[in-house]
Structure 1
Amino acid sequence: MSSEPWGRVDETGTVYVRTPDGEKVVGSWQAGSPEEALAYFERKYEGLVVEVDLLERRVRTTDLSAKDAMTAIGHLREQVDAGHAVGDLAGLGRRLDELVALVDARREERKATKARQTEEARSAKEALVAEAEELAASEQWRVAGERLRGLVDTWKGLPRLDRKTDDELWHRFSQARSAFSKRRKSHFAALDSQREETRRRKEKLIAEAESLSESSDWGPTAARYRELMREWKAAGRAHRDAEEDLWARFRAAQDIFFQARGSAFAERDAEHRDNLARKEELAAEAEKLLPITDLRAARAALRSISERWEAVGHVPRDARAAIEGRMHAVERAIAEAEDVEWRRTNPEARARAAGLTGQLQDAVDRLREQAERARAQGNAAKAQKLEQELAGRQALLDQALKGLQEFGG
């Protein structure tokens, strides 16, 4: 007969396990020595220990559902209660009891979380309804219309409440949108009528502008054109298909006059050319700031250049686009550098990158530990599978660490 702290084998080959309730028959062994019998059933116990270890880890470190956890616990408890192993079965039972308590606690936490999320969704939907009802009275037609469409998208992204509450809130939400749509339709119908009246007013302004186009009375005529322009702007807009043609005719009449006046003011062009030379010097000074190595210094220098630029005055019309384009290029470069700097120092993006890196590091450490344990237990196939998964997670971690370095940390 052979005996160990947790079990024994009698002379008939019957294997027993010791429990707080006394000995229980584990099985029968006729193929070898009593020591081999005990070793066989102790290995079965070790297998149960591994399964309990894994289940404890899954419950504590993953989002395993309570239902699946209880099913797994029940399966293991059946094996432990069946007693076909030699070891501290009572201890495994206590660990499973502790897991049940933990799963119950997690279930209650999730119920509380779900209740909180439901309350948050209700508050969010009530806020959407309140905003929609406020927007229903708005006359910012484009902005309010776009915002209402955005509110619909936000609503769709929120979880459903109980049917009665959800239907009541949706009814108020829909009524607000309908009220806004009706008011907007009425507004644009009135606007169409107004634009037709605007077209007739602008036809009269065009007739006067064309009658003045051949005038050489520069001062009074220019003043009258300015008045006509103010009247034009005050008249509002005609229908889109007519507005461009009306403006082209109105502008053409003015251009005839102002081009003639421009010829008479040739001496002013000399001043504009001098201004152009000064602005070219300022543009060259600004271009020396590129490429940007010190953003703060470049921003300050450009501010100084811009102040002097504004003080110079007008340049010839045909040179304006080119000279302003040079300055705009420098302004865009500094703006882009500011944007890059902002993205680089954005604490939220850095925090997300750091969080992802931490999660991947935990996964790598966990897989490495599991692979080492499997190899130590002689389970080469499992160790190889874990090591393959470890290699994939390590590659993701390396990539995340590289991204984190771009944030300066």
Structure 2
Amino acid sequence: MSSDPWGRVDETGTVYVRTSDGEQVVGSWQAGTPEEALAYFERKYEGLVVEIGLLEKRVKTTDLSAKDATTAIEHIRQQVDEHHAVGDLAALRVRLDALVAAVDARREERKAQKAKQTDEARHAKEALVVEAEELAQSEQWRAAGERLRALVDTWKGLPRLDRKSDDELWHRFSHARSAFSKRRKAHFAALDAQREVARQTKERLVAEAESLSGSTDWGPTAARYRDLMAEWKAAGRAQREHEDDLWNRFRGAQDVFFAARGGVFAERDAEQSENLKLKEELAVEAEKILPVTDLKAARAAFRSINERWEAIGHVPRDARPKVEGRMHAVERAIQEAEEAEWRRTNPEARARAEGLTGQLQAAVDKLRTQIDAARAAGNNAKADKLARELEGRQALLDQALKGLEEFGG
């Protein structure tokens, strides 16, 4: 018979392990000496020690799930409980119990961590929903649209909540995005419709301007071109891809007419050179309006300059594109500033009032010149008749100016 502190082998080859509950049969050994029997079952004990040690390390240092850890613990505990090894089985049970407590603690820790993450995700998604609902009312179409797309990317990076909560928050979030998209689509559809009306109007004006370009009826045709210009300004802006082309055709048609008239009135070259000098001075004055910081003041200043510009007359043909281009650039800048106040102003009515005022001002200036000429020639009767006509035009001009002031101009 052979024995050690934790077990023994009796004369029949039966192997026992000592426990707090007394000796327990480990197994039977018939193939060798009792010492070999004890050594075999002691090695099995050491194997259990190694298994427990590895499991303790995995529980502490890896993300082993509580379910897998519990399964492994129960597997080892079954071997210990079935007394298939010789050694301090009670010590193994203590270590297994400690492992169970560690796994339970890890489970609770992960449960608390998951609850915290879920709570943080809920607050984060609620914040995204609130911001999206605020953006849904924005009219900063580009910036708000980009921010909403960024919010979607942020949402996708957050953990899911329970299905009911997640679906409710997503429904609000999605509804806000849809509401913004519908408002943006309606805004640009309305803007496109307005610009389409402007395009059609300007197409008509271009056709008439081109039909008049060959006229030799200098006075009436020039007056009609001034009317067409007033209608052009009142029409508003067409789509960007059409606006410049239409403007070039419109101005090109006028250029043909006024170039022909300039050829007939070649003797006016000196006057036109003086006109160029005056218009260049006005262009410098107009460019000082930029950048536009006070739209109302800028419009008033440009209108004053433009009225003086129209009263000056034509400039040499080769100098016209450059000097008019400078004025047109200032006018474009003011028009772009006006678009920012589209909802607070009525640009069509304003432009019509400006055009009418320009026409009446030109007519008043012309009558005054004719009156002075008549009196200088000694034709007082004609001068008196023109003076009565001037009174009527002046009254209309005063009324037009008063109406223009009502637009904030």
Q: Which residue of 2 aligns with 1:51?
A: 51
2:332 corresponds in structure 1 to 232
Alignment of 1:206-221 (within 5 A): 207-208=250-251, 211=255, 217=273, 219=277, 220=280, 221=320
Q: Which residue number in structure 1 is paired with residue 86 of structure 2?
A: 86
1:372-383 to 2 correspondences below 5 Å: none
Specify the alignment match of 2:222 in structure 1: none
What is the rounded CA distance, in whole Å, between the counterparts of 1:99 and 1:225 in structure 2?
87
Equivalent position of 1:11 in the other structure = 11
1:5 maps to a residue whose letter is: P
What is the CA-CA distance between 1:129 and the residue it aligns to?
0.2
Query: Aligned equivalents of 2:250 and 2:17: distance in 1?
Result: 113
| Amino acid corresponding to residue 2 of structure 2 in structure 1 | S
Larger deviation, residues 131-140 vs 35-44:
131-140
**2:146 alignment partner AA:** E
Is residue 205–residue 232 contact of structure 1 (8 Å, CA) maintained in 2? Answer: no
Q: Which residue of 2 aligns with 1:188?
A: 188
The one-letter amino acid of 1:44's match is: K
TM-score (norm 1): 0.54
Q: Show CA shifts across 1:267-323 (max 9, x none).
A: xxxxxxxxxxxxxxxxxxxxxxxxxxxxxxxxxxxxxxxxxxxxxxxxxxxxxxxxx
Q: How does 1:303-382 map to 2 (within 5 A)?
A: none
Structure 2 alignment gaps of length 5 or more: 199-236, 260-268, 281-319, 338-409
For the residue of structure 1 that corresponds to 2:138, the secondary structure is coil
The corresponding residue for 1:385 is none
Show CA shifts across 1:171-191 (max 9, x none): 221221121011101110122
Tell me: CA distance 1:7–1:208, structure 2 relative to 1, closer, same or farther (3 Å): same
Matched, 1:69 2:69: yes
Name the SS for the 2:26 alignment partner: strand
Alignment gaps of 5+ in structure 1: 238-409
AA aligned opposite 1:77 = R
SS in 2 for 1:171: helix
Rounded Cα–Cα distance in structure 2 between residues aligned with 1:74 and 1:51: 12
Partners of 1:165 and 1:37 in 2: CA distance = 64
CA distance in 1 between counterparts of 2:132 and 2:185 reads 17
Higher relative contact order (CA 8 A, sep 6+): 2
One-letter amino acid of the structure 1 residue matched with residue 255 of structure 2? S
Give the superposition deviation at 1:236: 4.8
Deviations 1:230-253 (A, max 9, x none): 22344459xxxxxxxxxxxxxxxx
Further displaced range: 74-83 or 132-141 = 132-141
Q: Report the counterpart of residue 149 of structure 1 in structure 2.
A: 149
Determine what percentage of the aligned residue pairs are the same residue: 70
Query: In 2, distance between residues paired with 1:42 and 1:171?
Result: 65
Superposed displacement of residue 206, structure 1: 5.8
Q: 1:201 to 1:41 in 2, by over 3 A?
A: closer
- Are positions 1:132 and 2:132 aligned together? yes
Q: Measure the CA separation in 2 of the matches of 1:167 and 1:30.
A: 69
- Deviation track 1:59-114 (CA, whole Å, cap 9, x = no partner) reads 11110111110010000000011111111111011000000000000010011011
> Does the Cα contact within 8 Å between 1:205 and 1:228 map onto a contact in 2?
no
State the partner residue of 2:160.
160
Whole-Å separation in 1 of the counterparts to 2:170 and 2:58: 41
Deviation digits for residues 36-59 of structure 1, max 9, x if unmatched?
111111011111111111111111
| Cα displacement string for residues 138-162 of structure 1 (whole angstroms, at most 9, x for unaligned residues) | 2222232232223223323322223
Aligned length: 237
State the alpha-carbon separation in 2 of the partners of residues 164 and 28 from structure 1. 61
On the 8 A contact 1:133/1:173 being kept in 2, the answer is yes
Q: Distance in 2 between matches of 1:194 and 1:234?
A: 19
User: 1:40 and 2:84 equivalent?
Assistant: no
| 2:327 counterpart SS class | helix
C-alpha displacement at 1:204, in angstroms? 4.7
Cα distance in 1 between the residues matched to 2:184 and 2:53: 65
Decide whether the 8 Å contact of 1:16 with 1:24 is kept in 2.
Answer: yes
Kindly report which structure 2 residues correspond to 1:237-316, keeping only aligned pairs within 5 A, or say none. none
Range moving further from structure 2, 96-105 or 8-17: 8-17
Distance in 1 (CA, whole Å) between partners of 2:183 and 2:45 is 77
Matched residue SS, 2:126: helix
TM-score computed with the length of structure 2 as normaliser? 0.54
2: CA distance, partners of 1:41 / 1:235: 98
* Aligned structure 1 segments of 4 or more residues deviating by more than 6 angstroms: 212-216
Which structure has the larger Rg over C-alpha atoms?
2
Structure 2 CA distance, aligned partners of 1:162 and 1:41? 52
Give the aligned CA root-mean-square deviation in angstroms. 2.6
Q: Secondary structure in 2 aligned to 1:70?
A: helix
Q: Aligned to 1:11, what secondary structure does the other structure show?
A: coil
Q: Are 1:114 and 2:214 an aligned pair?
A: no
SS in 2 for 1:187: helix
- Residue 71 of structure 1 aligns to a residue in which SS? helix
SS state at 1:85 partner: coil
